[in-house]
Amino acid sequence: MDFMANKISNFLWEVGTEAQQGMKVPVRIYANETVANTIGKDRTLKQAMNAASLPSIVKNMLLMPDAHEGYGFPVGGVAAFDAENGIISPGVVGYDINCGVRLIRTDLRIEDVKPKLSQLMDVLFKNIPSGVGSRINLGFTKNDLEKVCSEGVQYIIDKGFGFKEDVEHIEEHGCMPGADISKVSPFAAKRGTHELGTLGAGNHFLEVQKVDSVLNERDAKAFGLEKGNVVVLVHSGSRGFGHQVCADYLRVFADYQAKNHIIPPDPELVYAYANTKEADDYLKAMKSAVNFAFVNRQIMTNSIRKSFAEVFGKSADALGMELVYDVTHNIVKLEEHDVDGKRMKLYVHRKGATRAFGPGRKEISEDYRQYGQPVIIPGSMGTASYVLAGRAEAMSETFGSSCHGSGRVMSRHQAQREIPVSKILDDLKSKGIELRVRNIRLVSEEAEWAYKNVDDVVNSIEGAKISDIVAKLVPMGVAKG
């Protein structure tokens, strides 16, 4: 390896507390050797060691195989803090609060969709606004926004945006209790009102995919996935609303630290101690953004169903367009975990990491409880995505966490410099993938060569016994900002 780490197994490495002064816990890296070497090429490991120095961090600082450098804290990182005397950090959660993915199944077969794929992508691209600053006017008022933030998905379903069964297949049932929009700045609220139902830009996308292979028949059947069927994957978050919440509270926490003479291991790792006013206010604002993001993806789901109905001449219900699951990536949650034989309440921060609870946990939707939580891992543009199921081992190893994607190996600017748009367009065309994009520069930024190999990443997760691979999905059409 390119950095000092002890090899524990073929899929697990550890950097001990002696590696950097102030580290309170080791850093554990879940990856095969190929993937682990990519983690040593930027500041990912340094950021993880800084995070391992934060107060009351518990057990291990964790890096998933998709880990790469982020704002202060690595994307693909997980850190848990004692709920009694630990800390809360906006930078550890990140700017795109509840960036997440949701998977929608259909009864349509590949041969049903291929002849109409171009038309379908045009309709989806028209009905779901994307790109920087994308907005849509659905007539929502300030009162609607308050209800969205406090009541989440159930509120918007009651207004006609979805099936009543959808809430059963969303993490947190589409609503984190305790949100309070009064803790959100007026500017953040103003940004959010017309962003509900929009995709955004960057690495956010909508893909029409085919179930290419099933690797776990039992779990695939439970999740409603059948080889040869068509599904839709959506990746988006809380848009400018959540971004502004993070920006606002980074300033609040910086002031808190200055008043209390706290010097974090990295200026971007500002924090406040749990149960302080600053931490409580942030959690209430963050939960508002979490619920906003769930609703954003719910409204897009409604638009996707309407688009399919328009193209195929049948209702979404008749097309079998059920929600498989919706998972969140950037979040902090109060959870109970066993740590060295002791049951503890922890504030688990996941940034670019997916909850992957094993079978039996009450937090998992009842339909899936005996199988483990569905874990949805999108690849980069033009490559495969995967559905996995959480394992019991994840509960003791990673606080029930898994990776969230393939993980960057190039910055956006480097990708623009080094990967010609023509190369990517030719590659997508050779694979028969329909592309719709509003900003052609994104094609280079999101090229598969700017990311790790998703197969290596997912195989690392399965090899580490964190999650089991259930099905492989391959894109047919891609829509981006």
Look up 404 and say whether it is catalytic. yes
Same domain, 343 and 315: no
The CATH number for 289's domain is 3.90.1860.10
State the residue for tokens 């899936």: 368
Average pLDDT over residues 248-274: 96
214 with 220: CB under 8 angstroms? Answer: yes
**Which residue type sits at 140?**
F
- Binned at pLDDT 50, 70 and 90, residue 3 comes out as low
Distance, in Å, from the CA atom of 178 to the CA atom of 195, rounded to the nearest integer, reads 22
Count the Cβ atoms, other than its own, within 10 Å of residue 43.
Answer: 14
Average pLDDT over residues 414-440: 93
324 and 263 in a common domain: yes
Based on the fold, state whether residues 183 and 250 are members of the same structural domain.
yes
Cβ(177)–Cβ(334) below 8 Å: no
Q: Find the domain containing 122 and state its range.
A: 100-332+373-480
One domain, residues 81 and 136: no
Identify whether 1 is part of a domain.
no
**Is it the case that residue 248 has pLDDT exceeding 80?**
yes
Q: Is residue 195 part of a domain?
A: yes
Residues 364 and 274 in one domain: no
Among 337, 349, 404, 413, the one annotated catalytic: 404
Q: Specify the pLDDT at position 325.
A: 98
User: What is the percentage of the chain residues whose pLDDT exceeds 70?
Assistant: 99
For CA atoms 250, 256, 257, 259, the dihedral sign is: positive
Mean pLDDT across 400-429? 94
102-126 confidence digits (pLDDT tens): 999 999 999 999 999 999 999 999 9
Express each pLDDT in 190-233 by its tens digit: 888 889 999 998 889 999 999 999 999 999 999 999 999 999 99
Position 134 scores a pLDDT of 73
Same domain (yes/no): 188, 286: yes
Residue 141 and residue 253 in one domain: yes
Lookup: tokens for 183: 């803790």
CA distances from 167 to 45, 163, 233, 323, 471 (A): 37, 8, 17, 9, 23
- Is there a domain that residue 75 lies in? yes
Would you say 407 and 351 are in contact if contact means Cβ atoms under 8 Å apart?
A: no
Please say whether the beta carbons of 253 and 125 come within 8 A: no
Answer yes or no: do 237 and 90 share one domain: no
Q: Report the C-alpha gap between 2 and 240 in whole angstroms.
A: 38
Q: Number of structural domains, the chain?
A: 2
